[in-house]
Structure 1
Amino acid sequence: MRLDTFDGSGTPTDAADWLRKMEKVMAACRMTAEEIVLFIPHQLTGQVDVWWVGVCDAWTPARGAITWEVFLAQFRVKYYSDSFRDKMNDALNHIQQGDKTVDEYERDFSNTIRFVPSVASDEREKARKFFTGLNARYREVMGRNPPTTSITAVEEARGMEIQFQLTMLQQRRNGNSTDFEQMDILYCYAGVTEAETRLILSSAIPERVLEAQQQDRLLLDVRKRIHEGKVGDFTLDASGAVRFRGRLCVPQKSQVKEDILKEAHRTRYTVHPGENKMYQDLKKTYWWKRMKIDVAKYVASCGICQRVKAEHKSPAGKLQSLEVLMWPWDDISMDFVVHKYSR
């Protein structure tokens, strides 16, 4: 069996991967505490070996014996910088499932949480963080009885994912999924009790807006100013999305904005509204600069509206040309100024 050595090169993730391999080897060999202390130094090379020898030389008997726990504490201080741990803690607070499957999300979650020991050692808090990052359709069903362990949370999410996929497949076979897919709606049947089943509908657009906000430079600046308390009309909701007077802020340069306009105008449940009605419908939920102008341009560019919708104005008559006069001054007209405007 070939054992990997560690020379200190690479990223903190590489260091964590090496530690994990060593823990597996020690567990498989059933090493005692004394054997572990003798085994680990043989796996260190280069500058890491020099560093550990220095730690051992500086270790005084008054501080107790050198154990595996002592090595872990010293190793993490050496190779997990404060800035890196702060970065991982911030990533854990904002981690989202997004378009990832439950297994992909669980893998990213595990790779992040191992650098946040305060959460990794608290099973209830670990389950809460995992639950918070799940998509809304999972949280809505699981929220009736939130899981208290991370293993339970992962298993429930995986079971729901399979149920969603089976429901979607059945709907497609029955030919009933077209409207939902066009409306960007996620749906599933969730069993609440043995005798009760309900249909859950949730739009994927709010989650896509949240993902787009995290890539938009202007909204990232707004988010920073919110934390500093410098903007009054902008707030953060429970999911961490930026809102303007309660309306979800949509980044200007994003595909999700075009999809919102399309959903509000072209789907079967909207039936091609005019610019005024479409604007009034959108402004209840979303906000972005020059929204009214964008809505007007989108409606004006709709070929179906131009071909189908009737003109509600009175029909124009034929052009009437002015009479050609024979002599100058035959017809005199003037304008009367009836109001005087003060400067």
Structure 2
Amino acid sequence: MDDHLKIIIATYKFSKEAKFWWKSVTNQYKIEEMSWDTFKELFYEKYFFAPKRWKLKDQFISLIQGNMLVTEYENKFTSFSRFTPEMVSNEVDKVRKFVSRLDYKMRPLVTTQGIKVYSKAVERALILEAEAKDKDARKEQWKQKRNAESSSEGPS
């Protein structure tokens, strides 16, 4: 998709205040020649003041999966990474950053796959998470079954 079309689609969703702001931008710039990066820069300057952008950038830099589900982590990763494009400027860097902050048990299992496409890294992490949940559920069932059998035997 070309930059001009991206800008048209983005500005179509603007509400009252943003429409007024956009009108002033169209008076100052040749919109047909504007790049998507310039549009984002202008938009962020208007609606995400520098201290807010710095805070979001810091949140991205310190983001780790921790106790979050992979989907929660990925949502935050995607949201915060908009404010640090230099850290995820290409697919390989994006994968490396995402994987480096995954849960320590999951990280090597994704890293050893040699994945270079972000969506594939996320997919692999989701599969590993589902497998771990399934394993935990089976372990819990086995434990409950064992406890039920030992309590039904009772004292001899």
Query: How far 1:56 sits from its partner (Å)?
Result: 3.2
Q: Choose from 4, 7, 11 the match for 1:40.
A: 11
Query: How far 1:134 sits from its partner (Å)?
Result: 0.9
CA contact (8 A) 1:93 1:129 kept: no
CA contact (8 A) 1:147 1:153 kept: yes
CA distance in 1, matches of 2:9, 2:68: 43
Q: In the superposition, relative to structure 1, how do residues 130 and 32 fare at CA in structure 2: closer, same or farther (>3 Å)?
A: closer
| Equivalence map 1:281-300=2 (5 Å) | none
Query: How far 1:88 sits from its partner (Å)?
Result: 1.7
1:112 paired with 2:93, answer no
CA contact (8 A) 2:4 2:33 kept: no
CA distance in 2, matches of 1:54, 1:169: 58
User: Normalising by structure 2, what TM-score?
Assistant: 0.70
Question: What is the aligned partner in structure 1 of residue 21 from structure 2?
Answer: 51
CA contact (8 A) 2:88 2:97 kept: no
1:140 paired with 2:108, answer yes
Say what the alpha-carbon RMSD is for the aligned residues: 3.5
Q: In the superposition, relative to structure 1, how do residues 125 and 51 fare at CA in structure 2: closer, same or farther (>3 Å)?
A: same
Structure 1, residues 186-245: CA drift from partner, whole Å, max 9, x if none? xxxxxxxxxxxxxxxxxxxxxxxxxxxxxxxxxxxxxxxxxxxxxxxxxxxxxxxxxxxx
CA contact (8 A) 1:85 1:116 kept: no
CA contact (8 A) 2:4 2:32 kept: no
Question: What is the aligned partner in structure 1 of residue 59 from structure 2?
Answer: 91
Question: What is the aligned partner in structure 2 of residue 217 from structure 1?
Answer: none
Query: How far 1:71 sits from its partner (Å)?
Result: 3.5
CA distance in 1, matches of 2:58, 2:110: 25
CA contact (8 A) 2:81 2:88 kept: yes
Q: Choose from 106, 114, 117 the match for 1:149.
A: 117
**Could you tell me the percent identity over the aligned residues?**
24
Q: Which has the higher strand share?
A: 1
Letter in 2 for 1:166: D
Structure 2: which 5+ residue stretches go unaligned?
A: 145-156
CA contact (8 A) 2:95 2:121 kept: yes
Question: What is the aligned partner in structure 1 of residue 152 from structure 2?
Answer: none
Letter in 2 for 1:142: V
Q: Choose from 165, 175, 182 the match for 2:143.
A: 175
CA contact (8 A) 1:97 1:133 kept: yes
Q: Which has the higher helix share?
A: 2
1:162 paired with 2:145, answer no
Question: What is the aligned partner in structure 2 of residue 223 from structure 1?
Answer: none
Q: Choose from 81, 85, 88 the match for 2:49.
A: 81
Query: How far 1:106 sits from its partner (Å)?
Result: 1.4
Q: In the superposition, relative to structure 1, how do residues 145 and 156 fare at CA in structure 2: closer, same or farther (>3 Å)?
A: same
Query: How far 1:109 sits from its partner (Å)?
Result: 1.6
Letter in 1 for 2:16: T
CA contact (8 A) 2:56 2:83 kept: yes
